[in-house]
Structure 1
Amino acid sequence: MPADPAAPQRNSRRRRPPARGRGSHGLMAAPGAGGAGRGGSGGEGRPPASNDGGGSPAPKGRRGRKTLSPLLLKAFLAVAFACLLGLGTLLAVHITDPQRLTESTVEAPIVDPPQGHARLQPTVFHAQDQLELFDPIAQRGSDDEALTDEELFADQEELSFEDLDLELRESRTTDTCTGEVWGDTLAETLAEAECASASHALYVDSDDEYVAQVTMFDLADVSGAESVVAELAPDSTPAFIVPMDSDYEGLHEGHSQATAQVMGHYLGVFWVARADGEPPEDDDSLASVNVAVMDAALEIYRRVNGANGDGE
């Protein structure tokens, strides 16, 4: 359906154009066997995440302006490890049937997604429930401004995990959250949850082999975040996030994996795929991409620090 000409404009920041086009099918094949064993062992990437709770440095973007307290670092690593296990064991293949979408019953205005957008649900989906760590930000303050992509991703332009390096290609924020998803029930739930903004970022690895999209919804409270997760789940009415425009087939068609993390009144969705949309050659390769891209949400952990009076 045509886009609403009166809808607010989306703010977008493009980093650099992707190297290969979806239309040309000229994507680079994975080097060697599997996706996790990548070329180039040198570089500045962080060492693998661990759960030993020792004196390891806090995870951060390569600019390294801010750090996390040891408590938050442990929690971050626990969340990443849980998602790694979840994505390795939860597999649910879903066939999207657009005809199953329900009629809208919410009185608040709902903005339609762009015409002709992809309607892809992830092949593998893992939901991470609210952790006690995020209780200090369980509710959005009455004077809080909506979260923006600049706040989220400015210090996270490069992410690393083991041999994997991801680079931010584009980010944007919109205050019309319902236009960022497909599926009427999901849109209704976002409206009911008083979504103030949806911030997106597109990451691609250094070999143009993997693509990842991070979406952070800023909702009224943790209850709203949990209700949105329920609608994203594959056993609910078919619905998901509209992928960002790119020249990659991944996230537009084929195989993909996603983790949804309730983080107080925020909801982070980390969606990954091979750039060509093909299933991974290595069972753990996409899970590793998912763990790496979760670093993009470190601003939320810093906000927990701030709510606890620990500053930045």
Structure 2
Amino acid sequence: MSTRKRRRTPASDWNLPILTDWGLKPRQQRLLVIIASIAGVLVAAVTLTTVIAALGSDARSDTQQAAGLSPEGTRPEKFEGWASPKVFAPIAERAKDAQPVTAKELFAGKTLTGAHKVTLKLAEKSVDTDCSAALWGAELIAQVGDAGCSQAARAAYTSTDGRYLAQFTLLNLNDAKVAGELVESLKSLHRGGWVRPLAPFPPDAYTEGGAYALGHYVALVWLSRADGAEPSPRDDFANLALTVRAAEKPLFKRVVALTGAS
């Protein structure tokens, strides 16, 4: 009579010493390992999603910077710059025009009136001794700092008919040389750095800007329709710019005070 050998049961692959010590049977150990593996996959997926989202945010930020955008608004789509007129030669150096400008001096009038019945009403005003507070764009801020900017005066206006927005900014620099250099640089530099809006422009608004050297000062003008749309033939942005530039009048008074000319 032959005897059948009893086959030995193979050791389980799920007989892990540390889990056996905890009193878990092979089937329980297998279930625990499967659950842990699934949890690990989920954690990895969440982590990967977070990383991708962060990279996407950085990519959008880089794209915005490349397009000339900032958290504060957009750069001007159209820009022009002008050298200082000879009339401002007496204030070509801040050393000869040392008195700081004030909001009361520059923005005393509540309205500015131009041709064709354009009237701008003062909405906000500010004078910062830290010029970087009024600007964005690392290269622009660096150049303005090198130019010895001591003040950035800003005023925001709305037209009385509600159709237009305008901002006037005056930078107080060391001398006419650096003022002229800044205006020239801004012909391309405005794409990556500009003025911070004192009052918000509409999102994705079409805007136009200009820079004017005025002795040791630089005036920056920024214009937009209130609805953010591109100007139509009935929108005279040139006249709008002349209207907001009436804020420059106190600088002419400074020239008169130094020269005695009428």
Task: Give your verdict on TM over 0.5.
Answer: yes
1:294 is aligned to: 245
Give the structure 2 partner of residue 132 of structure 1.
86
The RMSD of aligned alpha carbons is 2.3
Partner in structure 1 of residue 258 of structure 2: 307
Structure with a larger share of its residues in helix: 2
Conserved 8 A contact 2:112-2:244:
no
What does 1:51-200 correspond to in 2, within 5 Å? 97-98=64-65, 116-118=71-73, 120-141=74-95, 144-155=98-109, 157-200=111-154
Distance change >3 Å, CA 155–CA 237, structure 1 → 2: closer
Given that 2:78 and 2:209 are in contact with CA atoms closer than 8 Å, whether structure 1 keeps it comes out as yes
Unaligned runs of 5+ in 1: 1-95, 102-114
Instruction: Give the 3-state SS of the residue equivalent to 1:260 in structure 2.
Output: strand
Q: Is the 8 A contact 1:213 1:271 kept in 2?
A: yes
Paired residue type of 2:160: S
What secondary structure, in the 3-state scheme, does the structure 2 residue paired with 1:233 have?
helix
Q: CA deviation at 1:117?
A: 2.1
Secondary structure class of the residue paired with 2:95: coil
Separation (CA, whole Å) in 2 of partners of 1:217 and 1:156:
21
| Counterparts of 1:277 and 1:181, CA distance in 2 | 21
TM-score between the two structures when normalised by the length of structure 1: 0.59
Selected match of 1:278 from 207, 213, 229: 229
Structure 1: distance between partners of 2:66 and 2:225: 28
Partner of 1:263: 214
Instruction: Go from structure 1 to structure 2 and tell me whether the alpha carbon gap of 1:283 and 1:97 turns closer, same or farther (over 3 Å shift).
Output: farther
Deviation, structure 1 residue 156: 5.7
Give distance in 1, aligned partners of 2:238 and 2:209. 9
SS at match of 1:121: coil
SS in 2 for 1:302: helix
How many residue pairs get matched? Answer: 199
Structure-1 residue corresponding to 2:21: none
Paired residue secondary structure (1:173): strand
Are residues 156 and 140 of structure 1, via their aligned partners in 2, closer, same or farther at CA, if it must alter by over 3 Å?
A: farther
- When structure 1 is superposed on structure 2, of 277-286 and 287-296 the one drifting more is 277-286
Amino acid at match of 1:147: V
**Which has the greater radius of gyration?**
2
SS in structure 2 at match of 1:190: helix
Alpha-carbon spacing, 1:100–1:142, altered in 2? closer, same or farther (3 Å) = farther
Is 1:233 the counterpart of 2:200 in the alignment? no
Identity value in percent: 27
Partners of 1:166 and 1:308 in 2: CA distance: 31
Q: CA deviation at 1:305?
A: 1.3
CA offset at residue 97 of structure 1? Answer: 5.0
Query: 1:167 is paired with a residue of what secondary structure?
Result: strand
- Which one has more relative contact order, counting CA pairs under 8 Å at least 6 apart? 1
* Aligned 8 A contact 1:185 1:237 in 2: no
Contact 2:206 2:230 in 1 (8 A): yes
Whether 2:168 is the aligned partner of 1:214: answer yes
Counterpart in 1 of 2:31?
Answer: none
> TM-score if structure 2 supplies the norm length?
0.69
Counterpart of 1:217, as a letter, is L
Query: What are structure 2's unaligned runs of at least 5 residues?
Result: 1-62
